[in-house]
Amino acid sequence: MESRTITVEGLRTRVLEESGDGATGDPILLVHGVGGWAENWRAVIGPLAASGRRVVALDLPGFGASARPGRVRYFSGEKAFYPRFVIGAMDVLGFSRAHLGGQSMGGAIVAMTAVMAPERVRSMMLVAPGGLGREVALYLRLCTLPGMGVLARLPRSPSAARAALESCYHDVSRITPELYAEAERYGGPSFPEFVRALAQGLDLRGVRQALRDDWVARSSSYRGPALVVWGREDRVLPIAHLESLPHLLPDAEVRIVERCGHLVMAECPDEFLDAALPFLERAERKPVARPAVSADQQRALAGAAGRRDPTAGNIEGG
């Protein structure tokens, strides 16, 4: 597995990359969650690459070893930063189209990217994705309190980063020494970005209602293959969020992993791969999704039709 640096949106961005021998399948781009880093996907990168694909996991801006962005709008509007960043990373990596995998906030980012550019997304693999419901763990909601941005810049104990990692597991004995070391290395420096991203996406009640409503209204733009994987014992985002899935992604495949927490691909990689590898094969046998016509586009087309000469094209009998 190779670690290297690329430049996306003017920001130094670290990526992990591995390719299978004679890779012929569409590539895979993996996006971690808030407070995470590329190695959250380490346990599954090799097997995914061995299936004949180029696999890249990235550090989002401000997390892991990637540079922090300036003042940006992470989630809102047509020019939301995170999906624009993912598309920019695909351009730099030479991916005209890719399977996108995302966990937690990374899952929300992947879904936003699929809505903005469905023609670039071969399929989505979402692990406990954010945004399906409003409920989130209390400690995340508390990070949105006034003054947390200032507190986030104070020195942070390594034990806090370890505790945050443990909250994402059902069985903490499965946390490897490498992951603990990475949590300590990246957790403290990335905490200001952690708080800043949460403040834009959450309030004390959970996911911001207006933000969620905006993306839900646009969700029909993507109708390609989707897989959603969730740990039964997830303490960060409740598995009850799956109840909204039929409305948002009616054709999505679902895999629930028993005795597993929020980081399914790290805690239960075999179960994740049992779902993901066959899904990828099925996804590549399906036609590439085309951009759906939005309600705004439909209204524009209807307006253009109404402005045409009503007699044009009519054939009158004589």
Q: 45 and 30 in contact (C-beta within 8 Å)?
A: yes
Rounded Cα distance between 237 and 73, Å, is 23
Q: Is residue 69 pLDDT above 60, yes or no?
A: yes
User: What does the pLDDT look like over 157-177, one tens digit per residue?
Assistant: 888 899 999 999 999 999 999
Q: What is the pLDDT of residue 88?
A: 98
Of residues 44, 31, 15, the one with CA closest to residue 272: 44
- Name the one residue in this structure whose structure tokens are 């996911």: 207
More confident residue, 61 or 150: 61
Q: What is the pLDDT of residue 316?
A: 31
Q: Is residue 183 pLDDT above 50, yes or no?
A: yes
Task: Give first-to-last CA distance, the chain, whole Å.
Answer: 76
- Cα 80 to Cα 27, 71, 284: the distances in Å are 24, 12, 28
Q: Is residue 4 pLDDT above 80, yes or no?
A: yes
Q: What is the pLDDT of residue 59?
A: 98
Q: What is the pLDDT of residue 154?
A: 77
Q: Is residue 315 pLDDT above 50, yes or no?
A: no
Rounded Cα distance between 239 and 84, Å, is 28
- H or E element, residue 231: strand 226-231
Q: Which own/partner contact pairs does 159-165 have at CB distance under 8 Å and 24+ positions apart?
A: 160/187, 160/188, 161/186, 161/187, 161/188, 162/187, 164/35, 164/139
Using pLDDT thresholds of 50, 70 and 90, give the confidence band for residue 293. Answer: very low
Total-model pTM: 0.88
Q: What is the DSSP letter of 292?
A: P
In CATH terms, the fold of domain 2-307 is Rossmann fold (3.40.50)
Q: What is the pLDDT of residue 290?
A: 59
SS3 202: strand
Using pLDDT thresholds of 50, 70 and 90, give the confidence band for residue 295. Answer: very low
Q: At what angle do helices 177-201 and 158-166 cross, to 10 degrees?
A: 80
Q: 221 and 292 in contact (C-beta within 8 Å)?
A: yes
CA 202 to centroid of chain Cα atoms? 16
- Find the largest Cα–Cα distance for the chain: 89
Using pLDDT thresholds of 50, 70 and 90, give the confidence band for residue 289. Answer: low
Q: What is the pLDDT of residue 294?
A: 45
- Cα 162 to Cα 102, 157, 178: the distances in Å are 22, 9, 12
SS3 99: strand
